[in-house]
């Protein structure tokens, strides 16, 4: 991801010109968010308990992704399932042997409030992570532990808090070992990556180069194994910050269907493929990325293969979360779009509230 690029297109001045709400600062604060999240979970005074049925993380949007990223971080350390519930209810199999972490940054997400009520009805143990709102009020009335999150962000910027909370609750309910030391290591690694990938870095640094390569196209982000939820995170960050369509998929499944669709991509628009790779993938996944890249290259605007960085799983997951967040912000800058507001989403919420 190097080459001749416009040295001014993604400078600090260029970012400041469009980033009216300081989204860049929130992204670059991810290492500190991880550290602060550990303290905030401790402040909730969670006591260990046993949930043989595992953990369900109930939430929407940026509040939900933490559960999926936590599952990727824990990988084969999981002894019980961690699943996500995005909607107004919970899976029919949820029982008192399941812990439900209800995650809503605002505390007023109607789907998560409904899931909170459903968990109570089913007798499941509940934990809440939020800044406040109706969810915090209900939890405190019910003596349900509340993990506090600082306010003032777009929900998507709280990804570090949501991920650490899911990791810690998974440990508390017996679904996995505690990985707080890995979180600390990941935060230190991210400090270095922020300097290497931020707006003060070279014009051909990885985040800037990738954004420039993807500009003007519809990105299709493919993950596999550990990187599958990260691919979805990239898609949603590009949606919200750059205000453009992006899609995510998963290997090896995409080789059984989506691959055929790429044969007509050139006649339908400008599509780019990004493969998020990891050193611990099954060896055949590497072969699939290589061969799939060759087969779709003629119809793609660009094809990129991006590896995770670091040793432990938390470090590797969060390295690509940071990279994707910066790429999305840089795409917004290249388009002259303020990465902060999400007017269409707010309009939908307002209209729903009036019905």
Q: Is residue 263 pLDDT above 60, yes or no?
A: yes
pLDDT > 90 fraction of the chain, expressed in percent and rounded: 97
Q: Which residues form the catalytic set?
A: 240, 256, 349
CA distance 18 to 340: 9
Mean pLDDT of the chain: 95
Domain boundaries, the chain: 12-20+200-335, 25-178
- The CATH fold assigned to 25-178 is Rossmann fold (3.40.50)
Question: Where is 271: in which H helix or E strand?
Answer: strand 271-277
> Of 340, 332, 241, whose CA–CA distance to 21 is shortest?
340
What does the pLDDT read at residue 8?
77
Is the torsion defined by CA of 136, 140, 145, 150 positive or negative?
A: positive
Q: Does pLDDT of 6 surpass 90? A: no
4, 176, 236, 323 from 82: Cα distances, Å: 44, 9, 21, 25
What pLDDT shows up at residue 7? 52
Selection from 244, 228, 331 nearest residue 281 by Cα? 228
Q: Assign domain 12-20+200-335 to its CATH architecture.
A: 3-Layer(aba) Sandwich (3.40)
The DSSP-derived string for 74-113 is HGGG-SS-EEEE-SSS--TT--TTSEEEEEESSS--HHHH
CA distances to 59, 119, 174, 232, 270 from 45, rounded to whole Å, are 22, 21, 16, 32, 51
- Examine the pLDDT at 4 and tell me if it is beyond 60: no
Q: Are 59 and 103 in contact (CB under 8 A)?
A: yes
| Residue 232 DSSP symbol | H
Q: pLDDT tens for residues 277-294? A: 999 999 999 999 999 999
Q: Which residues pair with 303 in a beta bridge?
A: 273
pLDDT tens digit sequence for 36-54: 999 999 999 998 999 999 9
Mean pLDDT value across residues 244-258: 98
Same fold, 12-20+200-335 and 25-178: yes
Burial class, 337, CB count within 10 angstroms (exposed 0-12 / middle 13-18 / buried 19+): middle
Q: Looking at residue 270, what DSSP letter applies?
A: -
Q: Is the pTM of this model over 0.75?
A: yes
């Amino acid at each position: 991801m190097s080459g001749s690029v416009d040295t001014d297109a993604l400078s600090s001045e260029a970012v400041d010109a469009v980033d009216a709400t300081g989204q860049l600062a929130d992204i670059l604060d991810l290492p500190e968010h991880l550290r602060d999240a550990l303290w905030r979970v401790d402040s909730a005074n969670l006591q260990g308990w046993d949930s043989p049925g595992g953990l369900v993380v109930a939430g929407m949007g940026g509040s939900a992704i933490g559960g999926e990223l936590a599952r990727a971080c824990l990988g084969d350390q999981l002894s019980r399932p961690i699943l996500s519930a995005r909607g107004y209810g919970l899976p029919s199999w949820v029982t008192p042997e399941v812990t439900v972490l209800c995650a809503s940054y605002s505390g007023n997400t109607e789907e998560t409030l409904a899931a909170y009520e459903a968990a109570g009805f089913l007798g499941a143990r509940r934990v809440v992570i939020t800044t406040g709102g109706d969810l915090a009020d209900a939890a405190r009335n019910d003596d349900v532990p509340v993990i506090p999150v600082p306010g003032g962000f777009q929900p998507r910027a709280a990804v570090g808090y949501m991920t650490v909370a899911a990791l810690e609750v998974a440990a508390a309910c017996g679904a996995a070992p505690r990985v707080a030391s890995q979180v600390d290591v990941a935060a230190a690694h991210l400090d270095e990556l922020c300097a290497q990938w931020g707006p003060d870095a070279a014009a051909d640094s990885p985040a800037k180069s990738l954004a420039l390569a993807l500009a003007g196209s519809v990105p299709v982000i493919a993950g596999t194994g550990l990187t599958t939820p990260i691919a979805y995170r990239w898609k949603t960050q590009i949606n919200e910050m750059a205000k453009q369509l992006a899609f995510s998929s998963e290997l090896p499944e995409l080789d059984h269907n989506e691959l055929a669709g790429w044969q007509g991509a050139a006649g339908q628009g400008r599509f780019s493929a990004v493969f998020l790779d990891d050193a611990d993938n099954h060896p055949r996944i590497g072969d699939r990325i290589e061969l799939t890249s060759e087969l779709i290259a003629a119809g793609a605007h660009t094809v990129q293969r991006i590896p995770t960085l670091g040793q432990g799983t938390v470090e590797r997951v969060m390295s690509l979360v940071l990279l994707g967040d910066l790429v999305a912000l840089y795409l917004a800058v290249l388009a002259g779009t303020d990465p902060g507001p999400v007017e269409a989403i707010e309009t939908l919420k307002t209209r729903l509230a009036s019905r």
